[in-house]
């Protein structure tokens, strides 16, 4: 399996350093998955996308808040929008995690709302999909913004919510796209992440 994944970044003096969260690295290494990390440089990222062959999966991971106005944040946003378009055009399964889910929602016309007490906490979510064998699960949340039913993008179907009816997972009704607000890559057994992967690859 080969995956395209966008990169996070941190500022370093007058430049920036692109990186991938070590939780994703651990998952890829354990499952022996090849991945291509897209840099936050538009021309180079476009070249990597163009030269990529036999891509099975695309991931837009978490990171900084979606609409930060600094230059690098805007470049990352542009690259990730291109990834969504590439996923749709090539019919490649797409998973958006946390910030990635927020971007997918925005791409389909949805909006974000400010949420309280969702940083580094455990939250109970109610599952509405048969891929999970249980209807209630505790997850770790790391986000300042959320999505509710009235702000959900077009053709996105709710698959999980928290106690306050904030959407924790959705799936596109026609496209092979899933968004999750929690971080399944940070779970030690990767069980939920593998279930999501299987669902997306099965629908391919």
Q: Which of 80, 168, 171, 185 is catalytic?
A: 185
Nearest to 168 by CA among 121, 109, 107: 121
* SS3 label, residue 14: coil
Helices marked H in 65-134: 71-90, 99-107
CA distance 66 to 54: 29
Q: Packing angle between helix 71-90 and helix 99-107, nearest 10 degrees?
A: 70
Q: Which of 16, 80, 98, 143 is catalytic?
A: 98
CA distance 134 to 54: 34
CA distance 31 to 9: 25
Q: Residue holding tokens 């106690």?
A: 163
Q: Which of 16, 106, 172, 183 is catalytic?
A: 183
Residue 203 φ/ψ region, left for φ over 0, alpha for ψ in the -120 to 50 degree band, beta for the rest: alpha
User: Does the active-site annotation cover 98?
Assistant: yes
User: Does the active-site annotation cover 183?
Assistant: yes
Q: Which residues are catalytic?
A: 98, 183, 185
């Amino acid at each position: 399996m080969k995956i395209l994944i966008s990169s996070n970044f941190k500022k370093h003096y007058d430049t920036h350093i692109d990186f991938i969260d070590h939780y994703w690295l651990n998952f890829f290494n354990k499952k022996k998955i090849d991945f291509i990390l897209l840099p936050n440089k538009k021309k180079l990222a476009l070249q990597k996308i163009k030269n990529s062959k036999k891509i099975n999966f695309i991931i837009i991971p978490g990171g900084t808040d979606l609409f930060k106005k600094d230059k690098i944040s805007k470049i990352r946003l542009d690259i990730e929008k291109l990834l969504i378009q590439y996923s749709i055009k090539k019919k490649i399964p797409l998973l958006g995690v946390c910030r990635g889910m927020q971007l997918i929602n925005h791409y389909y016309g949805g909006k974000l709302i400010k949420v309280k007490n969702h940083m580094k906490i455990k939250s109970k979510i109610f599952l509405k999909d048969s891929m999970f064998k249980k209807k209630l699960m505790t997850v770790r949340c790391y986000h300042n913004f959320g999505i509710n039913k009235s702000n959900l993008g077009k053709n996105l179907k709710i698959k999980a919510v928290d106690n306050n009816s904030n959407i924790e997972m959705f799936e596109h009704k026609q496209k092979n796209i899933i968004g999750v607000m929690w971080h399944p890559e940070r779970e030690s057994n990767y069980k939920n992440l593998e279930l999501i992967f299987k669902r997306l690859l099965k629908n391919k």
